[in-house]
Amino acid sequence: MMKTNPSFTFIDTPEALRAFAEDNADIDWLAFDTEFVGEKRYQTLLCLIQVGTQNGDYIIDPLAIDDLWPFLNMLSDPSILVLTHAGENDYRLLEEQFGLIPKNLFDIQIAAGFCSYRYPISYSKIVEAELGDRVKKDYGVSNWEGRPIQPEQLSYALNDILYLPGLYKSLLKKLEETGRVDWVRQELQIWESAEYYQRDPDKEILGNNLISKLRPKQQIFLIRLLRWRDEVAREKNYSKEMVFSSKNMGNLIRAIPSGKKGLDNNRRLSDSVIKRHGDRFVDFYEREATPEELGLIARLPDGPSENEEYELILDMLYLMVKYRCLKEGISVQLVFPRGELNNMKSDPGYHSELLNTDWRKQFLGAEVLEWIQERERLEINFGEGRIELSLRD
């Protein structure tokens, strides 16, 4: 059952945080998690930090403390093993807001994927499977920004780190038995690289599901619309959906060729939005494209492949990898994520950086890697009692 009324230290002053860092100066490991609010805002608000060490358990209130570096420095100390479950979003948040690059990481969700569990596996499921306890999730969606924090919220938040040391010991034993400790280490080293957190400012544009289906003039319009929405959201600290809803972008794109009159007469578009921004939208559509915008269009991925045979062969290759993963007790979503397959379908020349990882090369083997790299040459042959996947000469 869930651990009830755990003892912990609540830290809400700079002095208490410095004392925490001093008391834990010689620790070997720490477990941590965060609670944050990202809804209805551009800048995610960090609301709580839960920490466990061999000296005790703590909850830090980042809304009450301006300087969090006495704690953050511990996450970048290579002599301290940092335990998380699904910690990627926590690290991205800390890098974005503080420039933190973590070191010496062990993530339970990643490790579980190397131990016959599906990836990603929830915290409650891995706790029950490995430790036999049930974790209640009553406060998963909670007002973490509100103060004072309720005791029930604190108990819920603390449970997100209380089981991490036990999970680490349990999974580490399995990894040692299968010889995969180094594989997990390699995978998590990606999170310890500053390059991993670099953001392409045009990622939203390049990944937009609609843009590849549009004509060039419409593409330029959508580029300007997305950039304007992002700029307003950042300035006002609103979510981008609050500025202009994504579900209405298709309606706006279809209506904009008819100019302001077409926008005014479109019943699917908000009158108040068109009144405030209609002229701006018309300008976005009518203005000539800049060289930079044309260059961005050139970077857009191709639309879905229309080569059905190519897609079917890729699906078969993926199923072969998936079957091997099942037999070897490792999640296919770690080895060969579905998103990478979709990228290969859209772009025959796409090269997956993931496949450069040493552990993936070791697991997949030279032949499968060659098939993936030379996938346009793959063919399926049917013989007596066999189906053969091979490369054409």
Assign 274 to helix, strand or coil.
Answer: helix
**Quick one: 208-299 is in which CATH superfamily?**
HRDC domain (1.10.150.80)
How far is the C-alpha of 43 from the C-alpha of 305, rounded, in Å?
36
Please, are residues 41 and 238 in contact by the beta-carbon 8 Å criterion? yes
Would you give the distance in Å from CA 163 to the centre of its chain? 23
What 8-state DSSP symbol labels residue 3? P
Assign 23 to helix, strand or coil.
Answer: helix
With a threshold of 0.75, does the pTM exceed it?
Answer: yes
Specify whether the backbone of 285 is left (phi greater than 0), alpha (psi in -120 to 50) or beta.
Answer: alpha
Helix axes 358-373, 181-189, angle to 10 degrees: 70
Domain regions of the chain by residue span: 9-197, 208-299, 308-391
Q: Is the peptide bond before 6 cis (omega within 30 degrees of 0)?
A: no
pLDDT (0 to 100) of residue 282: 98
User: pLDDT per position in the chain (393 positions), as tens?
Assistant: 344 456 899 999 999 999 999 999 999 999 999 999 999 999 999 999 999 999 999 999 999 999 999 999 999 999 999 999 999 999 999 999 999 999 999 999 999 999 999 999 999 999 999 999 999 776 666 899 999 999 999 999 999 999 999 999 999 999 999 999 999 999 999 999 999 999 999 999 999 989 989 999 999 999 999 999 999 999 999 999 999 999 999 999 999 999 999 999 999 999 999 999 999 999 999 999 999 999 999 998 776 667 899 999 999 999 999 999 999 999 999 999 999 999 898 888 888 999 999 999 999 999 999 999 999 999 999 988 898 889 998
Please, are residues 58 and 69 in contact by the beta-carbon 8 Å criterion? no
Assign 83 to helix, strand or coil.
Answer: strand
pLDDT (0 to 100) of residue 214: 96
How far is the C-alpha of 137 from the C-alpha of 134, rounded, in Å?
10
9-197 and 208-299 agree in CATH topology: no
CA 202, 206, 208, 210 dihedral sign is: positive
Element (H, E) at 50: strand 45-53
Q: Does domain 9-197 have CATH number 3.40.1010.10?
A: no
| Angle formed at CA 357 by CA 356 and CA 358, multiple of 5 degrees | 110
